[in-house]
Amino acid sequence: MENHGTLVICLTINLILLNIKCSAACGPAEYRIGDECCPMCSPGNHVYRHCTNNQSTSCAPCIGSTYLDKLNGLTACTPCTHCDPGFGLMVKHPCRPSSDTVCEPLEGFYCIDPTKDGCKAAQRHSICKPGQYIRQKGTQSTDTVCTNCTGDTYSDGSFTSCQPHTQCDTLNLQEIKPGTFRSNPECGPKTSSLIPVTVSTVLVLVFLITGIIIFILIRKNLKSRHRGVVNKQTDEQSPTEDSHLIESNNKKEFFMTPHLDVGRIKNLEVTAFETNIYR
């Protein structure tokens, strides 16, 4: 049993060494199929039929959106790379049978996954915010660099340097709105100091006249209401009249004899006195 095991191991080692030797026997432009070393196909072509003892390798060109860019023993070509705008890419060099598509970043993008000749993925350039200036513009390989404004300067985010604030006094104007890091001061024509005083005076007069008119209307309304009350009381307190019927010569004659009431007269005098006070 031990001799049998030793024999199996020796045969296995010999087979491995034989395969290595045979593999090493194929040249750099050959590939192995079984015991044969077949010639490889040139770039842009794939193996259509493997070689035999009597016939060399048959090759066919890559068609459609496929390619092979090296000597090969492959039976199929590789699909071409698609430059996806969703990844910020566009075609730099189109795909050919012997070379793959080369992509590059779209305008306003920079590459974040570069390859030997192109790019696999890109990202949009950063946008500087108001209060920042563009210290370095973005390229196909680098992002935009932004820096904050300082001192009496400003930028809306699109400037390549911070701009100094406008001095309104030097333009014979007055400052309406002060400047910030994000915006320039707003200047306007100078106004006379008398204008605020005049406006204030007009407003005071308007309020005063309005108050007087309201006071007169209220007082007039109170007087009218009071006169109505006095007239009503006067009508209710008028003297009673007695009717005396005198028959003479078969004719009916009427005459009124007023009966004066001293208390009612006093009430009338008090009411008249109060009316004069309100007036």
Query: Which pLDDT value is given to residue 238?
Result: 52
Per cent of the chain over pLDDT 90 is 58
Q: How confident is the model at residue 254 (pLDDT cuts 50, 70, 90)?
A: very low
pLDDT at 14 over 80: no
Which of the two residues, 17 and 166, has the higher pLDDT score? Answer: 166
Stretch(es) of the chain classified as CATH 2.10.50.10: 26-79, 132-188
pLDDT at 3 over 60: no
Q: How confident is the model at residue 269 (pLDDT cuts 50, 70, 90)?
A: low
Query: Which pLDDT value is given to residue 202?
Result: 86
Q: What is the pLDDT of residues 53-81, one digit of tens each?
A: 889 999 999 999 999 999 999 999 999 99
Please give the Cα distance from 43 to 41 (Å, whole number). 7
Cβ atoms of 183 and 130 within 8 Å: the answer is: yes
* CATH numeric code, 132-188: 2.10.50.10
Instruction: Give 126-140 as a 3 state SS string.
Output: CCCCCCEEEEECCCC
Mean pLDDT of the chain: 81
Which of the two residues, 133 and 207, has the higher pLDDT score? Answer: 133
Q: What is the pLDDT of residues 99-132, one digit of tens each?
A: 999 999 999 999 999 998 899 999 999 999 999 9
Query: Which pLDDT value is given to residue 195?
Result: 59
Query: Which pLDDT value is given to residue 116?
Result: 87
pLDDT at 35 over 70: yes
Q: Which is it for strands 163-164 and 109-111: parallel, antiparallel or unpaired?
A: unpaired
Q: What is the pLDDT of residues 146-193, one digit of tens each?
A: 999 999 999 999 999 999 999 999 999 999 999 999 999 999 998 765
* CATH numeric code, 26-79: 2.10.50.10
Which of the two residues, 206 and 259, has the higher pLDDT score? Answer: 206
Residues forming beta bridges with residue 61, ordered by sequence position? 45
Cβ atoms of 193 and 172 within 8 Å: the answer is: no
Residues forming beta bridges with residue 273, ordered by sequence position? none
